[in-house]
Amino acid sequence: MISNASGAVLAVMSVLAIMSILCWYIIGFKVFYLRRAARESALFGDSFWRSKDIEQIYKNAQALRNSPVSAMFLAGYTELAKLSSDNPANRDREADLENVQRALRKAQSAETTKLEGMIPFLATTGSSAPFIGLLGTVWGILLVFQQINPDEAIKLGQIAPQIGEALIATAVGLLAAIPAVMAYNYFTRRITVLISEMENFEHDYLNIIRRHFLN
């Protein structure tokens, strides 16, 4: 049925097939990426709260580069090291704390962008693929009706195969859209959890710095 479809319907199905392949690539990549980010964040969190040596925590964070939380720590640590090298007499405690907070938020923004990378394509596919498939179906049915001679009696068996070929486009659109929507919702929830972890870490990290390093 697909091979016998009209050129326009085939073009629509080709576009949907490409979108579906890209979606499955994104799904596979994001599953691996987010699992690794969550695992390394858990490892870093355990190291951060168990160790009392900030240099050791820094070394552990360098080994866990795929964790968004460890990336925030590295950014804060780097900024704190710069502030510690300044003359203590010229230091402003609140200004120093704001600088560290700014570094943390900049790192958080960068990590959030990385986590959300390619996810919008899943949303685009989920929302547009059914309509693209419907376009192919409508176009195919219009071509069928254009071929009908109003002066001749038409039996259903004569046009049913062509209508079925046109309807395949809608089915392909749904096959592309359903996994994309499900994956988008799943990844959005996972990313929201990781963003929440980064926000909580920011508050905890700033409290520790306020108590122990900027007195």
Q: What is the pLDDT of residues 11-47, one digit of tens each?
A: 888 899 999 999 999 999 999 999 999 999 999 999 8
pTM: 0.82
Q: Is residue 135 part of a domain?
A: no
- Domain count within the chain: 1
Q: Is residue 143 part of a domain?
A: no
pLDDT at site 10: 81
Burial of 11 (0-12, 13-18, 19+ CB in 10 A): middle
Q: Give the chain's residues under pLDDT 50.
A: none
Chain CA centroid to CA 213, Å = 36
Q: Is residue 3 part of a domain?
A: no
Q: Is residue 147 part of a domain?
A: no
Q: Is residue 8 part of a domain?
A: no
Q: Is residue 136 part of a domain?
A: no
Domain span including residue 104 = 18-126+172-212
Q: Is residue 10 part of a domain?
A: no
Burial of 215 (0-12, 13-18, 19+ CB in 10 A): exposed
Q: Is residue 35 part of a domain?
A: yes
pLDDT at site 87: 55
Give the dihedral of Cα atoms 65, 27, 185, 196; nearest 10 deg.
0
